[in-house]
């Protein structure tokens, strides 16, 4: 078993510790304005070399397990020595060395040899190619960053979201289709629908973060040098098992791209749900609606304004950035023959997808912490046209009683009259019954059944016509993301 396996996270803790070194460049891919501090120890620029060192370290451990490296030589590679490597070798230093070596991994191993004891030099990078190290490091970086940083933030967001759903499970709100008043729902029901999507994609992202494969099968994926120089071909499986990574099964010089693409696309879906939450809040916070208040700013010109919904706007707008960053992943699915270098530079900034999505998560946390619902305004908005929303129920009941073209009749005859008179639909029973006089049988059926119909209560009190809205909210309030781990 590897040291990494015996002490879970120990080596990663050393990498995180290295990020605290003075002068480290922890800039991550993307706009400098959006650089979440929590991600810097994992995705910061000068930290990239540390992930590569970790994979090189693990491969030496596997070579010892295979009996290739004598145990007394392997034991020279102490945890303290690993710490020296990750503290003293930054990506910036690796770049500087690369100007001499003209190869990034050769530059890295050259720097490692300056610190490692001489007996280990001949085993460093033994039977490996550069992307055995790089692709495996990328996969490990995705898994550990998501599970250690992103997932806890998602659980925090989930808790806030479900609290709001529970709090407003029964708060009446106009449902909208095409931005027009539709049937009544509740604020909790609105939030529940978005949360259900959020929980599903978050869970998928968690699973997919562990399904990005590493690889250690050499220059074209055939394990040629290992087949000749090592006692067996179990090295790749041992390494990936020690790191908790998926075995690709078959690879070229690089891993199959689909695993990483699926993970990053799931982040796009997560970003889309958060963007949808921001867009909905932005609309409901606008002056014509006024049903919500969230973290907001004033205007540089209009001093009367205090309600610019900056959190909601950033939440909605950043989805565009996530989509744009993920385009690089999608455009990098093709590699010529066993591999070319076109995609190498592109892969270096894939993590921007995670950076921007995490920024959205933090913004969504801020938004939900600040969310205040105005139930009075919600009620006022509903009542503006709420007396008409049970038209659906009226035309269905007439249809059930045999009234032909019931939808057209209610839509074109009854609703306009109700609007003109400012009355509820329940006050137009005489007109409805008279409209059936052309058919005596239908007339008597409607005249007898309609006044006794269960729809009467809803025509008089349309706020009751909420179906399962409260039950939907209450059920979703129990959809705890933390229980999905």
Distances (CA, A) of 460 to 105, 299, 346, 429: 76, 44, 62, 12
The count of domains in the chain is 3
Average pLDDT for residues 99-108, to the nearest whole number?
A: 97
What integer pLDDT is reported at residue 295 of this predicted model? 82
- Does 2 have pLDDT greater than 80? no
The answer to whether 274 and 205 have CB atoms below 8 angstroms apart is no
62 plus 116 within the same structural domain: yes
pLDDT value at position 403? Answer: 87
Q: Are residues 92 and 114 located together in one domain of the fold?
A: yes
Contacts of 459 (CB under 8 A, 6+ apart): 390, 393, 394, 424, 425, 426
pLDDT at 6: 39
> Of how many residues is the chain composed?
485
Residue 472 lies in a domain: no
Angle of the 104-113 helix axis to the 130-145 helix axis, nearest 10: 90
In the prediction, which pLDDT does 1 show?
39
Measured from the Cβ of residue 446, the count of other Cβ atoms closer than 10 Å reads: 24
Collapsing DSSP to helix, strand or coil, 191 comes out as helix
pTM: 0.93
Q: Spell out the long-range contacts of 109-117 with Cβ–Cβ below 8 A and sequence spacing 24 or more.
A: 109/56, 112/53, 112/56, 112/85, 115/81, 115/84, 115/85, 115/88, 115/89, 116/76, 116/77, 116/81, 116/85, 117/76, 117/77, 117/81
* Residue 207: CATH number of its domain: 1.20.200.10
Q: What is the rounded average pLDDT for all residues in the chain?
A: 92
Q: Quote the pLDDT of residue 417.
A: 87
At 108, which CATH number? Answer: 1.10.275.10
Q: Which domain holds residue 377?
A: 145-217+246-381
Pair type for strands 180-186 and 292-293? unpaired
Higher pLDDT, 176 or 300: 176
Q: What is the token pair recorded at 166? A: 């529970």
Cβ burial of 225 (10 Å; 0-12, 13-18, 19+) is middle
Whole-number pLDDT of residue 430: 84
- The pLDDT value recorded for residue 306 is 55
Question: Is 29 a domain residue?
Answer: yes
* Model pLDDT, residue 5: 40
**Within a domain: residue 178?**
yes
Residues 309 and 429 both lie in one domain? no
Give 168 or 181, the one with higher predicted confidence.
168
Is residue 313 assigned to a domain? yes
Do residue 374 and residue 402 come from a single domain?
A: no
Q: Which of 162-171, 390-399, 422-431 has the lowest mean pLDDT?
A: 422-431
Could you tell me the sign of the dihedral formed by the alpha carbons of 150, 151, 154, 160, in that order? Answer: negative
Query: Mean pLDDT throughout 131-150?
Result: 97
Using one digit for the tens of pLDDT, what is the confidence trace for 35-71?
999 999 999 999 999 999 999 999 999 999 999 999 9
* CA-based nearest residue to 237, from 216, 212, 219: 216
- Report, as an integer, the average pLDDT of 270-279: 98
144-154 pLDDT, tens digit each: 999 999 999 99
Nearest residue to 57 (alpha-carbon basis) of 78, 42, 31? 78
Q: Is residue 344 part of a domain?
A: yes
Residue with tokens 């329940």: 426
SS3 readout for 91-142: HHHHHHHHHHHCCHHHHHHHHHHCCCCHHHHHHCCCCCCHHHHHHHHHHHHH
Same domain (yes/no): 440, 348 = no
Assess contact for 109 and 49: CB atoms under 8 A. Answer: no
Domain assignment present for residue 235? The answer is no
Q: Same structural domain for residues 189 and 328?
A: yes
Clarify whether residues 73 and 152 are in a common domain: no
**Which residues are registered as beta bridge partners of 176?**
181
| The three-state (H, E, C) secondary structure of 365-407, written as one string | HHHHHHCEECHHHHHHHHHHHHHHCCHHHHHHHHHHCCCCCHH
Nearest to 284 by CA among 159, 191, 389, 169: 191
Model confidence pLDDT, tens digit, residues 358-402: 999 999 999 999 999 999 999 999 998 888 899 999 999 999 999
**298 and 362 assigned to the same domain:** yes
Q: Look at residue 468 in the predicted model and tell me its pLDDT.
A: 97
3-state secondary structure of 177: strand
pLDDT at 120: 97
With cut-offs at 50, 70 and 90, classify the pLDDT of residue 7: very low
CB 132 within 8 A of CB 62: no
CB 136, CB 54: distance < 8 Å: no
Residue 266 in any domain: the answer is: yes
Question: What is the average pLDDT across 300-323?
Answer: 78
CA-based nearest residue to 371, from 451, 463, 309: 309
Q: How far, CA to CA in Å, does 6 sit from each of 2, 37, 273? A: 6, 29, 39
240, part of any domain: no
Q: Are residues 53 and 80 in the same domain?
A: yes
Residue with tokens 């270098």: 341
Residues of the chain with pLDDT > 90, as a percent, come to 78
Do 335 and 446 fall into the same domain?
no
Q: Do 21 and 62 fall within a single domain?
A: yes
| 376 and 406 fall within a common domain | no
φ and ψ at residue 326, rounded to 5 degrees: -70, -20
Tokens coding 90: 């930054």
């Amino acid at each position: 078993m590897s040291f990494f396996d015996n002490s879970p996270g120990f080596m990663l803790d050393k990498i995180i510790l290295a990020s605290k070194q003075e002068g480290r460049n922890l800039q991550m891919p993307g706009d400098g304005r959006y650089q979440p501090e929590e991600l810097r120890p994992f995705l910061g620029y000068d930290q990239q070399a540390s992930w590569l060192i970790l994979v090189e370290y693990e491969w030496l451990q596997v070579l010892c397990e295979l009996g290739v490296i004598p145990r007394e030589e392997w034991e020279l590679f102490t945890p303290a020595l690993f710490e020296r490597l990750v503290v003293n070798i930054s990506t910036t230093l690796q770049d500087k060395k690369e100007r001499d070596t003209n190869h990034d991994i050769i530059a890295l191993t050259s720097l490692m040899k300056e610190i490692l004891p001489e007996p280990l030099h001949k085993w460093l990078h033994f039977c490996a190619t550069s992307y055995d190290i790089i692709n495996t490091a990328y996969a490990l970086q995705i898994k550990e960053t998501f599970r250690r940083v992103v997932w806890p933030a998602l659980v925090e967001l989930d808790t806030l979201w479900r609290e709001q759903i529970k709090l407003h499970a029964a708060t009446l709100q106009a449902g909208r289709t095409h931005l027009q008043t539709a049937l009544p729902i509740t604020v909790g029901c609105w939030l529940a629908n978005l949360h259900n999507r959020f929980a599903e994609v978050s869970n998928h992202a968690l699973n997919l973060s562990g399904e990005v494969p590493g690889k250690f099968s050499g220059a074209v994926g055939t394990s040629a040098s290992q087949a000749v120089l090592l006692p067996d071909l179990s090295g790749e499986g041992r390494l990936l098992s020690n790191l908790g990574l998926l075995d690709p099964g078959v690879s070229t010089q690089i891993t199959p791209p689909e695993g990483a693409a699926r993970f990053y696309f799931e982040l796009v879906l997560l970003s889309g749900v958060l963007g949808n939450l921001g867009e909905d809040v932005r609309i409901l916070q606008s002056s014509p609606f006024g049903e919500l208040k969230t973290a907001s700013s004033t205007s540089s010109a209009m001093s009367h304004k205090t309600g610019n919904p900056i959190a909601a706007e950033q939440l909605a707008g950043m989805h565009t950035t996530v989509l744009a960053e993920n385009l690089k992943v999608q455009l990098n699915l093709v590699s010529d023959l066993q591999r070319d270098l076109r995609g190498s530079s592109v892969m270096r900034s894939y993590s921007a997808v995670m950076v921007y999505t995490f920024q959205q998560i933090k913004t969504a946390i801020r938004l939900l912490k600040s969310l205040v619902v105005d139930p009075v305004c919600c009620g006022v908005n509903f009542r503006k046209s709420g007396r008409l929303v049970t038209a659906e129920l009226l035309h269905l009941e007439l249809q059930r009683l045999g009234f032909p073209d019931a939808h057209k009749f209610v839509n074109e005859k009854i609703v306009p009259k109700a609007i003109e008179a400012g009355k509820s639909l329940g006050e137009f029973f005489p007109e409805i019954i008279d409209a059936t006089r052309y058919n005596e049988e239908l007339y008597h059926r409607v005249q007898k059944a309609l006044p006794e119909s269960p729809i009467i209560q809803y025509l008089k009190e349309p706020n009751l016509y909420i179906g399962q809205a409260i039950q939907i909210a209450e059920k979703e309030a129990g959809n705890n993301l933390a229980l999905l781990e």
